[in-house]
Chain A
């Protein structure tokens, strides 16, 4: 914050404007603080981007060239890595598998977590904190620790090597985190919102669906973005509970680009870029929800 010290940034009349755009935004004068703000953000962004850009740069280069000249060099450009990665990794099939795992996992996680959060944050029944811990503390465990008991469990109930095992595990493990975030968010919503509905005789379901959920759009969008990323990038549980290679998610396509000893890193980078695209699309699609603000949600609701 120290970078932007422009004090009287808002003209008094501005709050009356539409809420969609934070006031003060468009007609803000150029001040040294503002310049500094942009400078800092630009620098940070470039610093964050740089490593990725460099890897992407190398994904467009030929192996023979970088092997001989090293990575700190210029030349050997090719698109071949992308074509080979796509074909060799069997991306089409694995993308589809991933879709089958990610979509239900994320939807069910957010659905169940929002219900629990709603009950825990909006109603008082003595066990609120205990339940919150019940859901959240589960996240403190490293997943690896539960591998053996879970493997035995799924083998016993016949879900080993099926997508159900994966979806259930993702839901169970991600729910705690989502419940925690959502319940904390819901606590910030004023009680008066639901109280009026309550007095009108609306049931709890209606309060949940019509009042609370629409207001939770920012955290839901943020969580969906994160959940998609996490579930999508998971390889650990897939390896643990699947044994048919053709059922594996897209993360395995990357693993298939590596041999027993030999790793073509230019090829692998190209594959990784292909893999990263869907999560970026999700981020772009959802970001306006968590950056556009609560008032927007309220107006639309």
Chain B
């Protein structure tokens, strides 16, 4: 999702890598053994549908996991797969931002057979352009492992194009100890929320941490307000370009936002999300609407264990609070892989619970997409996140994954930042959004 992480003045601590790695090594050994059987079966059913070239012996993987933690996890998944199936996987690793920015030329150049990508519109877009392969037959083998919502997010029409591996919820994060110390309770309604904000302010703290220097964090706030006020269906339809941005519905979102804005940190546009997270960590702010990756800013141990969240309360009782953003990361196959059989075998393995568990062993701020993935190693926060996502009525991917990426980056971000600078001028913001929508969504007919 966020395509562009960038300079921050207050980063936090990486998890203690050595401890993690040894824990991880233990786990991979165990899992690796368990995975052998599963993959043996998988490759058996995979080898007879070898449609493309290749003899099912080797495949390549284009990965955006260049940094330490996910790199180790992905390498472990590859090792487990190779051990189980005898198929070699050659990873081609770029850093996350580069990979996302050059995805267009990457897929048109000489891409690897399998590559890391996202669910939702951002995945469908490449299928519409004919650049990615059909994974419907892979899904017949892995289907039991995922909820219908995950299948839907991984599909373009009737065909499946993505194997989901990880996801994480967007919610309102807070420090349990701060809530206890000050006697705050989790708000159930809008009135509760406003009352809580006023109480926090009276205590000399900032109710909501907020930083939008990167442009995308504010999308999370927009998404949740829109889903709470106008419902999931309207939200998705708006994202698809089928609704007007200058209508009453979107106006209501900005008006609600404008009333909540005084409860947020001042001057959000110059602040990175890391700086905002720091104010939550340092107990200067009470709450923060962000993805679960906010935990990366919290030193492992006492601080991270102190982190908790609740889903944003209902703003309209008829609509309730059953929808949320929970972006899914996964893997896709290019349109004409060198070795389709091997690529699909690998994708089947990526869709197995073993793969999900191997990824999760390293990554305390995500949860596995696979239903049966072993959650016994989950932290309390991960458990709660899994429950939240499992019980959600609707799951959106996040604004920049649910709509055209060009609309999200060149129209929505400037408009939201304009609003944050001058919340009075909702008309101007709506005009910009609508004009941009008309230009971009019409262009391709």
Contact = CB atoms under 8 A, between A and B. Distances in A.
A261 interface: yes
Interface in B107-137: 108-111
B274 interface: yes
A255 B67 CA distance: 8
B9 A243 contact: no
Interface string A250-266: 00100111111111111
26 contacts: A63-B12, A66-B10, A67-B13, A67-B299, A68-B282, A88-B68, A151-B105, A161-B109, A239-B98, A243-B92, A243-B109, A244-B92, A245-B66, A245-B92, A245-B93, A255-B98, A256-B67, A256-B93, A259-B67, A260-B5, A260-B64, A260-B70, A261-B291, A262-B293, A262-B296, A263-B5
Contacts of B373: none
B380 interface: no
Given A63-B12, A243-B92, A258 B109 contact: no
A70 interface: yes
Nearest to A262: B296
Contacts of B299: 64, 67-68
Contact of A261 (B2, B7, B110, B278): B2
Interface string B269-298: 000011000100110000000010100110
A155 interface: yes
A62 B293 CA distance: 21
Interface string A178-221: 00000000000000000000000000000000000000000000
A234 to B, nearest CB: 13
B2 A67 contact: no
A61 to B, nearest CB: 12
Nearest to A65: B13
A227 to B, nearest CB: 24
A86 interface: no
A232 interface: no
Contacts of A71: 9-10
Most buried by A among B2, B95, B101: B95
Contact of B109 (A64, A155, A248): A155
Nearest to B272: A263
A160 B5 contact: no
Interface of A: 63-64, 66-68, 70-71, 88, 151, 155, 160-161, 235, 239-240, 243-246, 248, 252, 255-266
Given A255-B95, A261-B2, A261-B5, 10 more contacts: A64-B12, A67-B299, A70-B10, A239-B101, A243-B92, A243-B102, A252-B94, A252-B98, A259-B296, A265-B9
Q: What is the size category of the interface that chain B forms with chain A? A: 35 or more
A246 B92 CA distance: 7
Most buried by B among A64, A240, A246, A261: A261
A259 B8 CA distance: 13
Contacts of A64: 12-13, 299
B67 A88 contact: yes
B178 to A, nearest CB: 16
B441 interface: no
A291 B250 CA distance: 63
A91 to B, nearest CB: 13
Contact of A63 (B5, B11, B62, B282): B11
| 7 tightest Cβ-Cβ pairs between the two chains A and B | A255-B95, A256-B66, A262-B296, A259-B67, A245-B93, A67-B12, A64-B13
Interface string B78-110: 000000000000001111111001100110111
Contacts of B109: 155, 160-161, 243
B13 to A, nearest CB: 4
Contacts of B66: 245, 252, 255-256
Contact of B111 (A68, A243, A256): A243
Contacts of B98: 235, 239, 252, 255
Contact of A258 (B97, B108, B273, B282): B97
Contacts of B111: 243
Most buried by A among B10, B67, B282: B67
B205 interface: no
A207 B375 CA distance: 78
B347 to A, nearest CB: 20
A258 B96 contact: yes
Given A256-B66, A259-B70, A243 B105 contact: yes
Nearest to A266: B11
A197 B293 CA distance: 72
Nearest to B16: A64
Interface in B2-27: 2, 5-14
A243 B110 contact: yes
B108 A155 contact: yes
B36 interface: no
B261 interface: no
A164 to B, nearest CB: 15
A243 B5 contact: no
A249 to B, nearest CB: 12
Given A67-B11, A260-B5, A252 B105 contact: no
B38 interface: no
